Amino acid sequence: MNIAIILAGGVGSRMKTIDRPKQYIEVKGRPIINYCLRTFQRHKEVDEIYIVADVSWQDYITDWIKKDKITKFCGFAPAGKSRQHSIYNGLIACEQSAGEEAVVIIHDAARPFVTEEIIDECIAGAKEMDGAMPVITVKDTVYCSKDGKSIASLLERSQLFAGQAPESFRYGKYRRIHDAATDEELANTRGSSEIAYKNGMEIRLFPGAEKNFKITTMEDLTNFEAELNKEGV
Amino acid sequence: MNIAIILAGGVGSRMKTIDRPKQYIEVKGRPIINYCLRTFQRHKEVDEIYIVADVSWQDYITDWIKKDKITKFCGFAPAGKSRQHSIYNGLIACEQSAGEEAVVIIHDAARPFVTEEIIDECIAGAKEMDGAMPVITVKDTVYCSKDGKSIASLLERSQLFAGQAPESFRYGKYRRIHDAATDEELANTRGSSEIAYKNGMEIRLFPGAEKNFKITTMEDLTNFEAELNKEGV
């Protein structure tokens, strides 16, 4: 059983000129969230899809799910007060289907260019180990500083990786970590794999793709439209 | 004595649709390199400006320096085979003016939005310590991995900083590090402050600005033009 959980709870506060969260902006005939939904729908090994979204947007999403025939959609979970709280809500929403060994694949609605190959790697990695995550190399020269004023140490750039989504996990282990975590721990978690790693889960890293970026700014949106034009969508 | 060294040796290979290195693309009536040149020209504490550039572009730059009245310009240095080699060439080019305690401020031609305040901090930091560098926080969740396949450790994001330019250094100490460095050491250096820090110079970090980005991709260029439009340039 492989279950996709799509995180669409964000409010998109970085794009103030837009009247709605970024994942609901309609580009080339469909909202951004539907691009990744179609990929998960098409993937042969994905069995069910859950969406974490604010209640006020659920009717809108439901309309679009019907229009795009996302037949694997099984239900909503309410948005949480942090990304990790939203993930927890998604884990609870799918608990009827997800057994101990099920794989959950957690994705951002605002990453439209996830590929079937990335989803393949997520599923395979979570089956071999406890989870998997696409990563890209860090382009900046990164310095470590305890006070932001003087350099404490240099970091070897070839050993630094930035996490993308989707991240996959074995349901049972990952769920129990969330059940045991304090509210504060969830609120302070920055990456879904971070909390897994800290609690002893083994996470396989694999190469992601620059194109699998998250739409955050107006420039990202322009970039996304340009890519679609290039592909003749 | 405060000397600006502007690095314009890059060939802009990431933007293949453009017929020239990015720093020479003309936007709103002047090449990108001239935006930072005008800021260094205007800054009251900057005495001289040197430019590291491929010989084939030096006539072009000379024309634009005249048009924009960059009267502090004192000479060219040839582009090196790596960024750090270019810096070394710049350090050699200004050796007649630069005494032991002079401050060199090393900037990228493709960062048009450097501000006078950032230059202030560079000069003050190099006078108090051995050098200074603007940094911004790292937005990604960064994982450390030795093999790119499994997580070796997590990094505390609040302690991670990405270096920007300009970086400033006391001339004497910084020059001697380059005189002593092997060709390979220069070629493998990723940040101008990295080689300084590794050789015992104390570098002051201070907050840079998102807007002080480096134009690398077509999207960065679009972004730059949008910013100029916003400012009514």
Report pLDDT for B138. Answer: 81
Q: Tell if the CB–CB gap between A223 and B219 is shorter than 8 Å.
A: yes
pLDDT at residue B73 is higher than 70: yes
Measured in angstroms, the CA of A104 and the nearest CA of chain B are apart by: 19
Q: Which residues contact A153 (CB under 8 A, 6 or more apart)?
A: A143, A144
Mean pLDDT of chain A: 92
The mean-pLDDT minimum among A9-13, B1-5, B168-172 falls in A9-13
Whether the CB of A17 is below 8 Å from some CB of chain B: the reply is: no
pLDDT beyond 60 at A167: yes
Look at residue B152 in the predicted model and tell me its pLDDT.
Answer: 84
pLDDT of residue A17: 56
Which of A149, A154, A203 shows the shortest C-beta gap to B194?
A154
B207–A152 CB contact, under 8 Å: no
pLDDT of residue A13: 57
pLDDT higher than threshold 80 for residue B47: yes
Nearest to A160 among B135, B144, B191 (CB): B144
Output the average pLDDT for chain B. 92
Is A124 an 8 Å CB contact of chain B? no
CA B203 to CA A147: how far, in whole Å? Answer: 13
Between A185 and A191, residue with greater pLDDT:
A185
Please tell me if residue B124 touches chain A, with a CB cutoff of 8 Å: no
| Chain B residues close to A142, C-beta within 8 Å | 138, 142, 160-163
Q: How far is A137 from chain B (nearest CA, A)?
A: 9
Judged against a pLDDT cut of 80, whether residue A210 lies above it is answered with: yes
pLDDT of A217: 78
Using a pLDDT cut of 90, give the percent of chain B over it: 73
- How far apart (Å, rounded) are the C-alpha atoms in residues B158 and A91? 28
Q: How confident is the model at residue A202 (pLDDT cuts 50, 70, 90)?
A: very high
Note whether A161 contacts B148, CB cutoff 8 Å: yes
Is residue B135 less than 8 Å (CB to CB) from chain A? yes
Give this complex's ipTM. Answer: 0.79
The packing angle between helices A32-42 and A116-128, to 10°, is 60
Q: What is the pLDDT of residue B220?
A: 84
Between chains, do A151 and B206 touch, taking CB under 8 Å as contact?
Answer: no
State the Cα–Cα distance between residues A146 and B156, nearest whole angstrom. 10
3-state secondary structure of B27: strand
| Nearest residue to B177 (alpha-carbon basis) of B87, B60, B69 | B87
* Contacts B194 to A, Cβ<8 Å: 141, 154
Put simply, whether A222 touches B (Cβ < 8 Å) is yes
For B132-168, b/e burial (b = at least 16 CB within 10 A) is bbbbbebebbbbebeeeeebeebbeeebbbbbbbbbb
Given this model, what pLDDT does residue A14 score?
Answer: 54
CB contacts, 8 Å: B141 with chain A = 162-163, 190-191, 193-194
Please give the pLDDT value at position A158.
Answer: 82
**Cβ–Cβ contact A228 with B under 8 A:** no
Question: Is-contact B72 B43, C-beta < 8 A?
Answer: no
Query: Does the pLDDT value for residue A116 go beyond 80?
Result: yes
> Nearest-CA residue of chain B relative to A201?
B151
pLDDT at position B189, please? 87
CB contacts of A87 in chain B (<8 Å) are none
Closest chain A C-alpha to B193 CA, distance in angstroms: 10
pLDDT (tens digit, 9 = 90+) per residue, B170-209?
999 999 999 999 999 999 887 889 899 999 999 999 999 9
CB atoms within 10 A of CB A137: 14
Closest-CA distance, A149 to chain B, in angstroms, reads 4
Q: Is B197 on the interface with A (CB under 8 A)?
A: yes
Interchain contact B185–A (C-beta under 8 A): no
Question: Which residues, other chains included, contact B2 with Cβ-Cβ below 8 Å and sequence gap of 6+?
Answer: B45, B46, B47, B102, B103, B105, B123
Distances (CA, A) of A228 to A39, A231, B8, B99, B136: 15, 5, 33, 55, 31
Checking if the pLDDT of A11 tops 60, the result is: yes
The sign of the CA dihedral B213, A150, B137, B187 is positive
Mean pLDDT value of segment A25-44: 97
Question: Rounded to a whole number, what is the distance in Å from the CA of A197 to chain B's nearest CA?
Answer: 8
Which of the four pLDDT bands, split at 50, 70 and 90, describes residue B13?
low
Largest separation between any pair of C-alpha atoms in chain B: 55
Instruction: Give the lowest-confidence range in A46-60, A112-126, A128-142, B169-183.
Output: A128-142
pLDDT above 80 (res B12): no
Q: Is B223 on the interface with A (CB under 8 A)?
A: yes
**Closest Cα in chain B, distance from residue A139 (Å):** 9
Closest B-chain CA to A149: B205
| Amino acid letter, residue B64 | W
Query: Is B145's CB within 8 Å of A135's CB?
Result: yes
Beta-carbon separation of A149 and B206 below 8 A: yes
pLDDT category of residue B233 using cuts at 50, 70 and 90: confident
Which tokens belong to A37? Answer: 């939904």
Q: Percentage of residues in chain A with pLDDT exceeding 90?
A: 73
